Structure 1
Amino acid sequence: MDELILFDMMRQALLLAVRISAPMLAVALVVGVAIGLFQALTSVQEMTITFVPKVGLMLAVFWVTMSFMTTALSDFYTGQIIPLIAGG
């Protein structure tokens, strides 16, 4: 396998990982900032106030975007990885 093919495949895989994880990370960022602002304004410093809503919303976003994630990974493997393996 040529090094350029390997590096291109790694670049595409990392870009796919960023695209797949972006919705959940964006929700975690927005919820974290909103709850942090709420805690700063009210002086309530409870750890579960930050953790529970963040995990709940991330699970909801994961459930909503699960078909997108599965399709993206399946397309990557069938279009890029498997032909590379089969081609030698």
Structure 2
Amino acid sequence: MGETVLFDMLRQALLISVRISAPMLGVALVAGVVIGLFQALTSVQEMTLTFVPKVGLMLVVFWVSMSFMTTALSDFYLGEIIPLIAGS
């Protein structure tokens, strides 16, 4: 396996990991900004107010996007990794 093939696989793997994690990270970012704005406007400084909604929303997004994540990973594995291992 040459360097270019290895670097191309690593680049594709990193791109897949970004695509898979983007929905959950985006929801956490938006929820954090909204909750932070709410806390700044109301002067409520409760630590669980920031943690619990973010985790709940991330779990919901994970559950909804699980099929997308599985499809993306299995397509990458079956389309890129297995042929590379098999040598074709």
After TM superposition, the score normalised by the length of structure 1 is 0.98
Aligned length in residues: 88
List structure 1 runs of 4+ shifted beyond 6 angstroms.
Answer: none
- Amino acid across the alignment from 2:26: A
- Amino acid across the alignment from 1:71: T
Corresponding residue number in structure 2 for 1:39: 39
Stretches of structure 1 lacking an aligned partner (at least 5 in a row): none
- Amino acid across the alignment from 1:23: P
Q: CA deviation at 1:49?
A: 0.2
Corresponding residue number in structure 1 for 2:54: 54
Where 1:44 maps in the other structure, the secondary structure is coil
Corresponding residue number in structure 2 for 1:71: 71
CA distance in 1, matches of 2:31, 2:37: 10
Stretches of structure 2 lacking an aligned partner (at least 5 in a row): none
After TM superposition, the score normalised by the length of structure 2 is 0.98
State the percentage of identical aligned residues.
83
Corresponding residue number in structure 2 for 1:12: 12
Corresponding residue number in structure 2 for 1:82: 82
Q: CA deviation at 1:67?
A: 0.2
